[in-house]
DNA sequence: AATCGCGTTGCGTATCGTGCAACGATGTTA
DNA sequence: TAACATCGTTGCACGATACGCAACGCGATT
C-alpha cells in the first residue's frame, strides 16, 4: 500500500508534513496541513503534537498554527555542504556583492532540484534573489545549468524529467535538446546564463565551484535586474563570478 | 505506554533519531543509532529509509552511514529567529569580529537550553567559539545568563532544573542562589560574564538584544581566550558588545 | 442567536509497525 | 585461507498501535 516497500507509513506522513515548512512558507495551521496533504485533521493534530514535543515544530501562542522549531534548525545546520561552504564562500560572496552591487547566490544539488545554501542580497530597492533553503529547477536557473553541466547527457535527461520542462516564464527552455546544446557551451566556457528564464526581468550568470578531485560541488551566481545590466557590464560580471568561484574552489581544495 | 498521551510512537522514535544529527555529530550508522536509542536494528533501518526517501537524511556512498539531507536544511532555514536576525545581526557581528579580533556569537532561547544562531569566528589560531546550531546550558554561558536575566526567579528555577546544575568546569556555578544573585547584577548592568565556566581557558561577555516591545529575543557575545584579555581590554569589549547589541536592537524595532 | 471553521479527544477496528531470525556482504583476525 | 565479527537489509507472524469517525468546546463571523 505504501509508496515504497520497507518504509513506515506514519513516519512518511510526518516527513511530508514537516517538509511543507520552508523559508517561503514557514507557518501552517492544522487545517491547512490537513487540506494540503489529504490527511485527517486528527492525524495531523497528533503528528504535529509529537513533533512539537521533540522541538522540531512550535505552536505560536495558543493552538494558532505551527512554525519551525529550534531542533529542526539545529539538525539542518549539520548539512554538510552548508557547513563546509559557508565558512569559505561567505566572505568571498560578501565582497563580490559589495564590489559589484548585485546579489550573489550559492547552490548545490539536492536530488531532483537544487537548493540555495547562501545568499547575499544587494542593496537595490528591488530584491531579485532567492532565499537560503529554497529549492529551484535545474533547467531554468544559472546555477542549475552549471550543476547540470557536470553530468553526462543521459544523467541530465534523468534528472530534469520528461518534456516539456516546467515553463517558468516565456523565455524558459522547455525542450531537452536545446538545453543539452546550451550545456555543451557551459562545459566549454565554464559559465552559465539565465536570461529571464526563471523570473521575468531577472538575469544571472553563474560559474562552477569544484572540490579538490574535480568533483563539482556547487554553483555561484550573480543575480540582477535585467534592465540594469548591459552587455558590457555582463562581461564584467562574468569575469567577476568566474574569479570568485575559482578563488573559493582553490580554498576548498586545501 | 508512550511518553505522552496523544502522540504517535513511530513518529516520536523518528524524531529521536533525527534529533541525534547535529553540527557536532552529523554522521551516524544504523548500528550506532540503534545502540544510542535502544531501538532494534530493523526498526532503525526502516525509519532511516523512510526519512531518506523524503530527503531529510542521505546515506553517503552505499549503506555506509547516514548524514543530514537537504530537506532538513531547507526546513531548518525557515526557523523564524534565524531568518529575522541573520539579516540584521550578521553585518554588525562581522564588523565587531574584525574590529576587535575576537569571535562573536548570537543565541536565542530554545526550550530548556539555548541555541546558537550565528557565529563569526576570529582569526586566532585557537578556536574557542561554538558552532551554529549547537545547544548549550543557560547557566554556564554568557549568552545563557543574558537570556535568563529576562525571566523571573521562579521561571529561572524551572528552566535550569534542580541543583546541582551540570558542572562543565571547576568554575561553573552549580548552585541556584549564587546564579540568581548574578542574574540580578545582569539585570542592572545589562551585561553577563562567563569566566571559564563552560570551557577552561575561554571567557565571554554578552549583552541583550531586545525586540520592539521590550521582549528579550537574543543574546550577543564576544568570546575569547582568557589569557589574552586583561581587565582593560575586557572593559573595552563590554562597551563594544553593548553598543553592537543596542544597534541590532534598534534596527530590529523598525 | 445561529452558523461556520478550528483544534482536540474517546473509542473500536483492523491496519500497520514491531521484533525476531536469517541472509549476504564486508572487513578483521588468527 | 578460513573462521569470525559486524554491518545493513528483508520475510514473516503477531498484536500493539495508528487510524478515521464522530462529537465536543471554543472563538469568530453573519
How confident is the model over A1-10, as pLDDT tens digits?
Answer: 345 667 899 9
CB contact under 8 A, A50 and B87: no
b/e per residue, B58-70, with b = 16+ CB within 10 A?
A: bbeeeeebbbbbb
Taking the C1' atom of every nucleotide in all shown strands and the CA of B63, the nearest one is D8
pLDDT per residue over A170-199, tens digit each?
A: 999 999 999 999 999 999 999 999 999 999
Residue A184 host element (H or E): helix A176-189
Q: Is the CB of A99 under 7 A from strand D?
A: no
B172 touches strand D (CB under 7 A): no
Q: How much is the pLDDT for A4? A: 61
User: Which residue, among B193, B219, B223, has the nearest Cα to B207 in the 3D structure?
Assistant: B219
Give the pLDDT mean for B98-113. 94
Q: In angstroms, what separates the C-alpha of B31 from chain A's closest C-alpha?
A: 18
pTM of the complete model: 0.92
Q: Using the beta-carbon criterion (under 8 Å), do A73 and B76 form an inter-chain contact?
A: yes
Cα torsion A119, B241, B120, B76: sign = negative
Count Cβ atoms below 10 Å from residue A56 Cβ, excluding itself.
29
pLDDT in tens, B199-236: 999 999 999 999 776 676 899 999 999 999 999 999 99
A69 SS3 class:
coil
**Cis status of the peptide bond prior to B147, with omega within 30 of 0:** no
| pLDDT tens digits along B60-105 | 866 679 999 999 999 999 999 998 898 899 999 999 999 999 999 9
Phi and psi at residue B61, to the nearest 5°: -80, -80
Output the CA–CA distances (angstroms, integers) from residue A50 to A39, B20, B60, B79, in the order listed: 16, 16, 28, 18
- Interface contact A72-B56, CB threshold 8 A: no
The b/e string for A168-199 (b: 16+ C-beta within 10 A; e otherwise) is beeebbeebeebeebbeebeeebbbbbebbbb
Q: Which residue shows C-alpha cell 545502540?
A: B35
> Do A92 and A247 form a contact (C-beta atoms < 8 A)?
yes
Q: Which member of B23, B47, B78 has the closest CB to residue A78?
A: B23
Average pLDDT of every residue of chain B: 92
* Chain A neighbors of B133, CB-CB under 8 A: 73-78
Three-point CA angle B97, B100, B105, nearest 5°: 35
Q: Is the dihedral of CA A187, A191, A195, A199 positive or negative?
A: positive
Contacting A residues, span 49-88, partner chain B, CB-CB under 8 Å: 49-51, 53-56, 67-80, 82-83, 87
Tell me the pLDDT of chain A (254 aa) as tens digits. Answer: 345 667 899 999 999 999 999 999 999 999 999 999 999 999 999 999 999 999 999 998 666 799 999 999 999 999 999 988 988 999 999 999 999 999 999 999 999 999 999 999 887 777 788 889 999 999 999 999 999 999 999 999 999 999 899 999 999 999 999 999 999 999 999 999 999 999 999 999 999 998 776 676 899 999 999 999 999 999 999 999 999 999 999 998 87
Q: What is the pLDDT of residue B63?
A: 64
Q: Is B107 in contact with A50 (CB distance < 8 Å)?
A: no
E runs forming strands in chain B: 57-59, 66-68, 103-110, 113-120, 135-136, 191-195, 202-210, 216-225
Coil, helix or strand for B124?
Answer: coil
Q: Which chain A residues have a beta carbon less than 8 Å from that of B48?
A: none
More confident residue, A126 or B107: B107
Mean pLDDT over residues B170-177, rounded? 96
C-alpha distances in Å from residue B194, one per residue of A42, B27, B99: 47, 31, 21
Q: Using an 8 Å Cβ cutoff, are A89 and A118 in contact?
A: yes
Is residue A120 a contact partner of residue A101, using CB atoms and an 8 Å limit? no
Which residue, among A6, A15, A22, A92, would best test binding to B if mutated, counting the most B CBs under 10 Å from its CB?
A15
Q: Closest Cα partner for B218 from B85, B67, B119, B96? A: B85
Nearest to A76 among B46, B75, B131 (CB): B75
Q: Count the neighbouring beta carbons within 10 Å of the beta carbon of residue A5.
A: 7
CB B129 within 8 A of CB B223: yes
Nearest CA to B113 among B19, B4, B11? B19
Q: Is the separation of the CB atoms in B203 and B196 below 8 Å?
A: yes
- B29 beta carbon to strand D: under 7 Å: yes
Query: What is the structure's pLDDT at B100?
Result: 94
Question: Is residue A51 a contact partner of residue A14, using CB atoms and an 8 Å limit?
Answer: yes
Closest CA to A102 of A125, A131, A71, A123: A123
Residue A60: list chain B partners with CB under 8 A: none
Task: Report which of residues B184 and B84 the model is more confident about.
Answer: B184
Contacts of A74 in chain B (CB under 8 A): 22-23, 76, 110, 115, 133-135
In this structure, are residues B251 and B222 in contact, taking their beta carbons and an 8 Å threshold?
no
CB proximity list for B201: less than 8 A, separation 6 or greater: B128, B225, B226, B227
CB atoms within 10 A of CB B1: 3
Nucleotide nearest to A5 (CA to C1'): D10
pLDDT tens-digit readout, B29-64 = 999 999 999 999 999 999 999 999 999 999 986 667
Cross-chain residue pair B49–A7, CB shorter than 8 Å:
yes
pLDDT at residue A43, as a whole number: 94
Q: Work out how many CB contacts closer than 8 A connect A with B.
A: 201
Dihedral angle over CA of A144, A150, A154, A155, nearest 10: -70
The pLDDT of residue B4 = 61
Distance between CA A221 and CA A103 in Å, rounded?
A: 8
What is the pLDDT at residue A124? 77
pLDDT recorded at residue A115: 97
Percent of chain B with pLDDT over 90: 82
A54·B83 Cβ contact <8 A: no
Task: From the CA of B161 to the C1' of D8: give the distance in Å.
Answer: 40
The answer to whether the bond into A164 is cis (omega within 30° of 0) is: yes
Kindly report which amino acid residue has its CA closest to the C1' atom of nucleotide D20.
A40
Burial B148-170 (b: 16+ CB within 10 A, else e): bbbbeeeebeebbeeeebeebee
Amino acid at each position: 500500500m505504501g509508496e515504497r516497500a520497507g518504509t513506515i507509513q506514519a513516519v512518511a506522513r510526518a516527513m511530508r508534513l514537516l517538509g511543507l515548512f520552508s523559508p517561503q512558507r514557514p507557518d501552517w495551521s492544522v487545517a491547512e496541513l490537513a487540506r494540503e496533504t489529504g490527511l485527517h485533521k486528527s492525524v495531523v493534530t497528533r503528528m504535529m503534537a509529537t513533533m512539537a514535543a521533540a522541538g522540531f515544530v512550535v505552536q505560536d501562542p495558543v493552538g494558532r498554527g505551527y512554525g519551525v522549531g529550534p531542533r529542526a534548525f539545529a539538525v539542518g545546520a549539520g548539512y554538510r555542504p552548508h557547513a563546509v561552504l559557508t565558512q569559505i564562500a561567505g566572505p568571498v560572496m560578501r565582497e563580490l556583492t559589495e564590489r559589484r552591487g548585485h546579489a550573489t547566490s550559492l547552490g548545490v544539488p539536492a536530488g531532483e532540484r537544487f537548493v540555495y545554501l547562501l545568499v547575499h542580497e544587494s542593496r537595490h530597492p528591488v530584491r531579485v534573489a532567492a532565499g537560503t533553503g529554497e529549492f529551484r529547477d535545474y533547467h531554468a536557473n544559472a546555477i542549475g545549468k552549471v550543476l547540470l553541466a557536470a553530468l553526462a547527457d543521459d544523467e541530465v535527461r534523468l534528472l530534469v524529467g520528461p518534456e516539456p520542462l516546467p515553463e517558468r516564464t516565456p523565455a524558459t527552455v522547455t525542450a531537452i535538446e536545446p538545453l543539452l546544446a546550451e550545456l555543451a557551451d557551459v562545459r566549454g566556457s565554464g559559465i552559465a546564463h539565465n536570461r529571464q528564464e526563471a523570473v521575468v526581468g531577472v538575469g544571472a550568470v553563474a560559474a562552477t565551484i569544484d572540490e579538490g578531485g574535480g568533483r563539482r560541488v556547487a554553483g555561484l551566481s550573480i543575480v540582477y535586474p535585467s534592465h540594469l545590466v548591459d552587455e558590457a557590464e555582463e562581461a564584467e560580471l562574468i569575469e567577476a563570478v568566474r574569479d570568485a568561484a575559482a578563488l573559493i574552489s582553490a580554498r576548498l581544495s586545501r
